[in-house]
Amino acid sequence: MKIIRVKDYDELSRVAADIMIEAVKENPEITLGLATGGSPVQMYKNLVEDHKENQTSYKGVKSYNLDEYIGLPQTHEQTYYTFMHKNLFDHIDIDEKNVHLPDGSVEDVKAEADRYEAMLKDTVIDLQLLGIGTNGHIGFNEPGSSFEGLTDVVSLTPETIEANARYFEGNEDLVPTEAISMGVGSIMNAKKVLLIASGANKAEAIKWMVEGEISEELPASALRNHDDVIVVVDEDAASLLTK
């Protein structure tokens, strides 16, 4: 696990974007694993800016997103489908047919999770972007998730629902309680992982992930068993690290 410590969210977003852009330039047919949430928003802005200024092309790039809420129509403004289009896909030249997200609006969500995992089995994610929850989740794999877990229907913990209420008028009752998420095992199949974390509310999870016990109680700690992980953390998120 390589740790890159930066000053703040701005620098984190620049450093993470540079890693992504370099990877795309090196392999224009790269398969990316992508993430949503507050952490990557500025990084995606940087990718869009770079695409406009330097014409970095995503024409041959494939993408697979980590997760999606269950129970919202796909075009609802808070789905991850909408997030990805609004923050990235609508502003770059990626081919819509190369874009993949689980669909949480279908009736048979278990079959959808299985369909998604079957697609992942047929591909190799070259670079997987991750955020981390305040409780150490990756994707929507909450504490206690199996390290071997594959894409599945999962329940969100109260902590995650509380953290995400800010996107739902601050109303926890509006936050979906379930999602389809790639499992920790699916994530661990990626060739390389880039995890970004910013802010003091991530400090405890980062400390545990980097220095604590490897345990399913902190899903992100599984990444210590992966041999190519880059963690970019700002000062606040790194504030509890002892080294």
Residues with Cβ < 8 Å from 158, sequence gap 6 or more? none
What are the strands of the beta sheet with 31-34, ordered from one edge? Answer: 2-6, 229-234, 192-197, 127-130, 31-34, 62-65, 99-100
Tell me, yes or no, if 67 is annotated catalytic: yes
Between residues 31 and 42, which has the closer beta carbon with respect to ligand PGA?
A: 42
Figure out which of the listed residues 38, 143, 185, 212 binds ligand PGA, where binding follows CB under 6 A: 38
**183 near ligand PGA (CB under 6 A):** no
Q: Which stretch binds ligand PGA (CB under 6 A): 15-23, 36-44, 95-103, 235-243?
A: 36-44
Q: How many CB atoms lie within 10 A of CB 29?
A: 11
Single out the catalytic residue among 46, 50, 65, 67.
67
Using only C-alpha atoms, what is the Rg of the chain?
A: 17
Helix (H, G, I), strand (E, B) or coil at 14: helix
Strand partners, 68: 180
Figure out which of the listed residues 33, 104, 131, 136 binds ligand PGA, where binding follows CB under 6 A: 131
Q: Which residue is nearest to ligand PGA (CB)?
A: 37
Give the nearest distance from C-beta 170 to ligand PGA in angstroms: 15
Figure out which of the listed residues 20, 24, 30, 37 binds ligand PGA, where binding follows CB under 6 A: 37
- Closest residue by Cα to residue 70 from 219, 186, 175: 175
Q: Tokens at residue 12, please?
A: 């984190």
Catalytic residues: 67, 135, 137, 142
Chain residues in the site for ligand PGA (CB under 6 A):
37-39, 131-133, 137
